[in-house]
Amino acid sequence: MTESATLASLSRALGPKYEVRRLIGSGGFAEVYEVWDKDLERRLAVKVLRPDVAWTSGMIERFQRETRAAARLEHPNILPIHFVGEGEGLVYYAMPFVDGMSLGELLKRSGALPPERALAIIIPILDALDHAHKAGLVHRDIKPDNIMLDVARGRPLLVDFGIARRLDSKAGPGLTQTGLVIGTPHYMSPEQALGDPNLGPASDLYSLGAVLFQMVTGAPPFDGDSSQQIVGKHIADPPPAASDVNAKVPRELSDVILRLLQKQPKDRFHSAAEVIGALESDKQPSTVRSRASAAAAATELLVSGATTKSTRRHVGAAARPRRLGWVLLVIALPLLALGAGALFFRQPTLVFENKLNDMVTVQVAGEERRILPGGSFTLKVDRARRLDVSWQLVPRLGVPLGDTIALPRPRGTVRVAATASPRHGAYFAPVITNETGQSLSIIVNAGLAGSTRCGCTIPPGAQRMMIGYYPLYQNSTVRAEANDRSATFQNLGAQANATTGIVGLLFRTGDLH
């Protein structure tokens, strides 16, 4: 079934009270659509089991049963499930639409996170996991892409409990099977890799340890040339110490991660709550000391990555004389007031940067400007008025790309950038080097819906030739053709730079078959 056919079927299944707007994501087993709830005037994300997968009736029944069980979870850091449905040959469930990004996207953009920021994200997720485990559910697919960062509310969210399995023995034999998802190789526990049908909470803790390792080092604990090789390392290889990979990781935090990554479930922590206790120890980075402070810190850390100091006073710390404190306070308050006043009355400044690989036009405050790649401009703006900043790529090849950012009552310095990841999707810019000795024609996203010929020829000897921007998916492709032979780069979603969109591709002699 094509994307348009699935969209039409989902519209009929949901009925007239819902408007199915667009496909926003696709994975191996499901697709996610943005849907508008007309009655309640809210955006939803509806996850649909892919109709082109050979689902059995038993698998669909188990999926629905487990999703309904997950829908009973109530925790501020678990993305809730509004309803589960079936119709027009589709099986689906609806969730709130989250404005933000996944932890996976954040790690692709920023690499390793400071320990304080990593803890501000992971402790609320552990609390959510503890809640789920106590309710008898194990997630089985903990990974960065299943942790969403809700920037609007400053909280991380654990998602995709629709593929969870009940832990209680009364769930019935149908629920003790491996189920629909076998996990993701980079984050899979050894027992999951070995096909254990009775996974427990310890499997989730192992996966979370692999995620935390990547958060503080920039890479998962095990990697390889194939899924089989990665899985084999999870089963047999001793886990590396995060502090050995990144010297900035405190040894105490590295030790917690090592315990999470033990091969035997009995050698790991006994619960997510126990992990939280270890991470809240005075020996850990000081930004996050408790679940309450973790939630507060996450609001700032998710958005800006800034760190804050813990206000906990350790036992035995010497108290400063109160009189000196009052004197300093009397002196500081007028200075702070003056500073705050100056900040309030200062005229706001807009800073616009073009981080794309081509020229953009910018429309703001009734003006239009053309900004070269890497260029920027600064503009004083009126704080009392809403400011709309619109930019458009000036494409010679490829597809149009642009965005509009609304800034109600701007304050201080506001930075806006043209990037390859505007709010409505991601794009990439293939840069081609041709060492085949032949002229090449290029098809972008060959084999996918939206396949596009670039309308260009890459001459022999071309070095890093730009061919424009194109929609980016996890499985995006670029195919080069010459004289009935071709060569294809696949799965470019993880390789493209999230800011510039650039991905360099080298076609050499012998690549064409």
Q: Which helix (H) or strand (E) holds 507?
A: strand 502-508
Identify the CA nearest to 403 among candidates 415, 418, 413: 418
469 φ/ψ angles, rounded to the nearest 5 degrees = -105, 150
Catalytic-labelled residue, pool 141, 150, 160, 403: 141
Quote the tokens at residue 68: 């309904």
119 Cβ contact partners less than 8 Å away, ≥ 6 residues apart: 253, 279, 284, 285, 287, 288, 294
Contact by Cβ (8 Å): 93, 85? yes
> How far apart, in Å, do the first and last CA atoms of the chain sit?
30
Q: b/e per residue, 116-132, with b = 16+ CB within 10 A?
A: bbbbbbbbbbbbbbbbb
434 φ/ψ angles, rounded to the nearest 5 degrees = -115, 105
Inter-axis angle of helices 272-279 and 115-134, nearest 10 = 160
* Amino acid at residue number 484: D
Residue 311, helix vs strand vs coil = coil
Contact by Cβ (8 Å): 82, 96? yes
Contact by Cβ (8 Å): 299, 151? no
Our answer to whether residue 141 is catalytic in this structure is yes
69 φ/ψ angles, rounded to the nearest 5 degrees = -65, -40
Inter-axis angle of helices 201-217 and 251-260, nearest 10 = 140
Separation of alpha carbons 25 and 30, rounded Å: 9
Residue 95, helix vs strand vs coil = strand
Separation of alpha carbons 512 and 440, rounded Å: 10
Identify the CA nearest to 157 among candidates 175, 141, 168, 145: 145
Contact by Cβ (8 Å): 18, 11? yes
Neighbours of 218 (CB within 10 A): 14
Query: Do you know the residue count of the chain?
Result: 513
Please list the residues that pair with 362 across neighbouring strands.
Answer: 369, 391
Active centre residues (catalytic): 141
